[in-house]
Amino acid sequence: MIRPMRPVIVAANWKMNTTPDDAGELARTIAGRTRESGVTRVICPPFVCLSAVRDALAGEDVAVGAQDVHHELAGAYTGDTSAAMLAGLATWTIVGHSERRRDHAETDERIAGKLRRAVEAGLRPILCVGETLDIREAGNAERLVVDQLASALDGADPDVFSAAGLVIAYEPVWAIGTGRNASGADAAAMAEAIRRGLRAIGWGDLADDVPVLYGGSVTAANIGEFLAEPSIDGALVGGASLKPDEMAGIVARAGLTARARAGETLVS
């Protein structure tokens, strides 16, 4: 059968940077400098900047994403944001980012709840998975990532989550802001492990349709190495996503990959 081509995605995670006063202008600048055919662009600003970025991107083919979503529909959760609250502000959301796991002690079970709330609300989720240095050095990187994936998707209907556009972002935590670098081969091997993991929990051929992004200190200088790997479908960009020059370079390279893929027919 002919299978759909996986999209090429570049998602910008601004983390705890920008304010409502400057976020809109930055979003407009990035949008204007990253118009590349075939590349899905997403900007994920802080919650307080969602409205400003949404308004700034009106008329642009750039989606707005949240950086997190709560695992409950509503309730006594001071400072948190539910999926329903994001209606009209965002159409994507990051779930399970390594910094949320580290700083907020988010468990795989909690992340599973967030995924479900996101999908129920019509948000397209980017599920983050990845290992720390000690896990990698112990030879348990793939096992941990596959376990994270299985726990987060436990009981999830593959057809529903596939239709919702589930994206997986592989974050090698050991390569984020540490000076150590993951290689394209490292990322490709983990992308294949992720798809094997999806098949193992019942996704079958749908596993081949799930985009896998690389998210470990991505820059315009290194993105080419990762996008040269057929199993990598884009990037979740951190610090570089605040720099228009960097984003222009990253998305330009993603555009080359998108155009190359557009000439291919995926058959299984």
Residues acting as catalytic residues: 97, 171
Provide the token pair at 43.
């900007």
Dist. CA 20–CA 184, nearest whole Å: 36
Look at residues 100, 124, 98, 96 and name the one whose alpha carbon lies nearest to residue 112: 96
Provide the token pair at 68.
């997190």
Where does residue 20 rank: exposed (0-12), middle (13-18), buried (19+ CB within 10 A)?
Answer: middle
Look at residues 192, 203, 81 and name the one whose alpha carbon lies nearest to residue 150: 203
Residue 169: HSE in the Cβ half-sphere, 13 Å Cα cutoff:
27
Look at residues 196, 260, 181 and name the one whose alpha carbon lies nearest to residue 228: 260
Report how far Cα 216 is from the mean position of its chain's Cα atoms: 11
Dist. CA 56–CA 245, nearest whole Å: 19
Give the single-character DSSP code of 4: P
Longest dimension (CA), the chain: 51
Dist. CA 118–CA 1, nearest whole Å: 30
